[in-house]
Amino acid sequence: MKKVFSRPHLYSHRGLGYGGKENTLASFSSCLHQDHLDGMELDVQQTADGKLVVIHDFNLKRVTGTDAEVSELSYAELKTIYAELPLLDEVFSLCRDTLLYDLEIKSETIHTLGLEERLLKMITSHHLAKKVVVSSFNPVSLLRFKRLSGAQIPTALIYSSDASVPRVLQHGLGRYVARPSYLKPEQAQAGQALKTAYQICTWTVDDVQAAQHLIKAGVMGIISNTPGELAHLFNF
């Protein structure tokens, strides 16, 4: 199996760790000035009018207090509720090829209404194919993106034992559908994942001792809310 990583990499989770709210231009901008940081993990969803926006939750309630679904509103409507909501295009224009991107496709259904096609077009229009990995809990969406890209952009299957994740996907079995480049389990499942033939990038690791243990065990990517506190472990 072709290896994606040549050494362990450190990612900021949703741009956090250096100031600014998660998944905002302010947080991503703060990441650009961190020499120890390899990349940023961010979440990509599609609005009702086909715009790619960067936000984690499917609903705006946690970040704004307003009960509204991202997929049911246009970008203009969403901006009236959440002014800091960035377009993926804006993030790429701001950050360019300074860091690596872990782009998580957020989709609750296999019917993604062209999200993967729009994402591939956005990546290629910014000439970022060599700086990106596309990840998702959704193995069907991930396989669709892989086929569209001709397998030229690495993909990663995310999984978690959390009850919110469908049982059949909780232990990484979606890899048999998605055929990803590597696996992206939650921290608690990283040890078991290391027994597979895949390289492993894990989340969300904020403890120094835990990160040190994971790196020694062979994990090749760590996503953290506090990457600055882990930076000294990545001096290779």
CA 188 – CA 164 distance, rounded (Å):
16
The stretch 47-70 carries a mean pLDDT of 98
pLDDT of 235 reads 80
The stretch 71-76 carries a mean pLDDT of 99
Read off the pTM: 0.97
pLDDT of 178 reads 97
The stretch 63-86 carries a mean pLDDT of 99
In the chain, the largest separation of any two C-alpha atoms, in whole Å, equals 47
Q: Model confidence over 202-213: pLDDT tens digits?
A: 999 999 999 999
For 9-234, CATH number? Answer: 3.20.20.190
Rounded to the nearest integer, the mean pLDDT of the chain is 97
pLDDT of 1 reads 66
CA 233 – CA 106 distance, rounded (Å):
30
Which tokens in the block code for residue 215? 């790196």
pLDDT at 149 exceeding the cut of 90? yes
Q: Residues 6 or more apart from 219 whose CB is under 8 A from it? A: 8, 190, 194, 200, 201, 202
pLDDT of 236 reads 60
Measured in Å, how far apart are the chain's first and last C-alpha atoms? Answer: 24
85-118 b/e (C-beta count within 10 Å ≥ 16 → b): bbbbeebbeebeeebbbbbbbbbeeeebeebbeb
Q: Model confidence over 152-202: pLDDT tens digits?
A: 999 999 999 999 999 999 999 999 999 999 999 999 999 999 999 999 999
pLDDT at 216 exceeding the cut of 80? yes
Domain coordinates in residue numbering, the chain? 9-234
Q: Model confidence over 13-56: pLDDT tens digits?
A: 999 999 999 999 999 999 999 999 999 999 999 999 999 999 99
pLDDT of 80 reads 99
**DSSP, res 6:** S
CA 122 – CA 125 distance, rounded (Å):
5
What percent of the chain has a predicted confidence (pLDDT) above 90? Answer: 96
